[in-house]
């Protein structure tokens, strides 16, 4: 294999199977604790790719568990020493390394206030895990490449397991069990994605749009394009993009769109038709043939994935595209310039 990044992208189905086999009983116990404490809302503290996982959590816990979800503002806890009241909250800290001081501080303060705290981390011996009342181990194995891939989707999968356990929903459990095989199908398209990426080797800027559950996917794909291929990639909800930024679009301007089947697909499809009329360069990730037909570059998804799980699969072509584009531009995918694996923010 050409890089650690490629290997780690390909490991994702195995990571999800490990979460199902090993960590699911732990997550079910965590869910039972949450039900017994009956929090009124959820606050999620995270940075980077983990923050994109938190965006997925906003939709997931909101729709499936009817819990309001807020994203924490860590500087209120660190720089301003003015933390909000958290007594009736479930506070989730998501961090692959579990070592970022600002995320740890949020959980320490939440514990002090008596909130229920849960850490999702790939290091169960980390400071974040020590600060939390409950710990969910992502079980992704060591991630050597600086860009997060398998730890990102492990975070999504763990959140989906937790939401499903909270809801005690058997149909959702079965859908989760089928997902690793679906991801393997998406990964089989890697050679076709690599060929498609060659067209964009001189791309310097683009936007990435998604909506609903895949708002998170737009952010994560944009992050991968930035940190790996050094493309100025801006993520948007398709709704927000209409409110001003759409003025960027002119002939040949690249727009990446994440459009799996679901409640958001009709609105996104109509928007892509408008962008097509403006001669945008469309790169579309979708399982719908009619939507793929709008694109100059189509990246098909396996069909039959429920919308609430689609971010786990829809991000895979984005990861593969970012890897291939990085190689096409002649950059090292394992060592993006100016970055380290663990970023310590305060």
Percentage of the chain modeled with pLDDT above 70: 97
pLDDT at 336: 84
DSSP string, 264-280: THHHHHHHHHHHHHTT-
Band (pLDDT 50/70/90 cuts) for residue 135 is: very high
Residues in a beta bridge with 207: 234, 255
pLDDT of residue 240: 86
Same fold for the pair 4-182 and 190-328: yes
Place of tokens 């909270």: 166
Which token pair is 87? 């007594």
Residue 244: what pLDDT?
80
Q: What confidence tier does 136 reach under pLDDT thresholds 50, 70, 90? A: very high
Cβ distance 39 to 90 under 8 Å? yes
246 compared with 29, residue with greater pLDDT: 29
pLDDT of residue 241: 78
Whole-number average pLDDT of the chain: 94
CATH number 3.40.50.10490 is the correct assignment for the domain at 4-182: yes
In the chain, % of residues over pLDDT 90: 89
pLDDT band (50, 70, 90) for residue 41? very high
pLDDT tier for residue 342 given thresholds of 50, 70 and 90: low
pLDDT-derived band at 242 (thresholds 50, 70, 90) equals: confident
237/15 Cα distance (integer angstroms): 29
Collapse the DSSP code of 280 into the 3-class scheme (helix H, G, I; strand E, B; otherwise coil) and give the result.
coil
> What whole-number distance in Å separates Cα of residue 337 and Cα of residue 228?
9
> How many residues are given for the chain?
346
What's residue 178's pLDDT? 95
Q: What is the pLDDT of residue 247?
A: 80
Three-state secondary structure readout of 286-321: ECCHHHHCCCCEEEECCCCCCHHHHHHHHHHHHHHH
Residue 339 has a pLDDT of 65
Backbone angles phi, psi at 116, to 5 degrees: -80, 125
- Where in the chain are the domains? 4-182, 190-328
CA 263 to chain centre: 19
Specify the CATH number of the domain 190-328: 3.40.50.10490
Is the model's pLDDT at 313 over the cut of 90?
A: yes
185 pLDDT band (50/70/90 cuts)?
A: very high
pLDDT digits (tens, 9 = 90+) for 148-181: 999 999 999 999 999 999 999 999 999 999 999 9
Burial class of residue 71, CB neighbours in 10 A (0-12, 13-18, 19+)? middle
The predicted pLDDT at position 337 comes to 76
Digit-coded pLDDT (tens) for 261-305: 999 999 999 999 999 999 999 999 999 999 999 999 999 999 999
| 126 pLDDT tier (thresholds 50, 70, 90) | very high
The half-sphere exposure of 302 on its side-chain side, counting CA atoms within 13 A, is: 22
Q: What three-state secondary structure class fits 5?
A: helix
The per-residue pLDDT for 338 is 67
Question: Looking up tokens 């229920």, which residue turns up?
Answer: 116
For 67-121, the pLDDT digits (tens) are: 999 999 999 999 999 999 999 999 999 999 999 999 999 999 999 999 999 999 9
């Amino acid at each position: 294999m050409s890089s650690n990044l490629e290997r780690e992208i390909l490991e994702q189905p195995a990571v999800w199977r490990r979460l199902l086999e090993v960590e699911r009983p732990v997550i079910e116990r965590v869910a039972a604790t949450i039900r017994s404490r009956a929090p009124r809302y959820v606050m999620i503290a995270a940075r980077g790719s983990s923050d994109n996982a938190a965006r997925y959590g906003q939709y997931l816990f909101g729709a499936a568990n009817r819990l309001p979800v807020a994203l924490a503002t860590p500087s209120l806890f660190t720089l301003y020493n003015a933390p909000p009241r958290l007594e009736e909250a479930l506070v989730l800290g998501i961090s692959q390394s579990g070592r970022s001081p600002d995320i740890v501080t949020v959980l320490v303060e939440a514990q002090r206030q008596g909130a229920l705290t849960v850490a999702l981390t790939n290091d169960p011996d980390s400071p974040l895990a020590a600060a939390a009342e409950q710990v969910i181990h992502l079980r992704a194995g060591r991630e050597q490449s600086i860009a997060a891939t398998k730890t990102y989707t492990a975070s999504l999968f763990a959140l989906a397991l937790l939401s499903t356990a909270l809801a005690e929903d058997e149909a959702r459990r079965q859908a989760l069990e089928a997902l690793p095989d679906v991801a393997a199908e998406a990964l089989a398209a890697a050679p076709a994605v690599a060929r498609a990426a060659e067209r964009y080797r001189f791309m310097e800027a683009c936007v990435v749009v998604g909506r609903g559950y895949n708002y998170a996917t737009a952010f994560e794909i944009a992050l991968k394009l930035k940190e790996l291929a050094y493309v100025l990639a801006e993520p948007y909800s398709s709704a927000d993009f209409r409110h001003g930024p759409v003025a960027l679009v002119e002939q040949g301007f690249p727009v990446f769109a994440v459009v799996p089947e679901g409640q958001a697909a009709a609105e996104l499809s109509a928007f892509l038709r408008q962008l097509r009329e403006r001669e945008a360069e469309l790169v579309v990730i979708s399982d719908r043939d009619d939507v793929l037909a709008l694109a100059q570059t189509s990246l098909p998804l396996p069909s039959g994935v429920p919308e609430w799980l689609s971010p786990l699969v829809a991000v895979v072509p984005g990861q593969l595209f970012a890897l291939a584009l990085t190689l096409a531009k002649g950059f090292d995918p394992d060592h993006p310039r100016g970055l380290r694996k663990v970023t310590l923010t305060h």
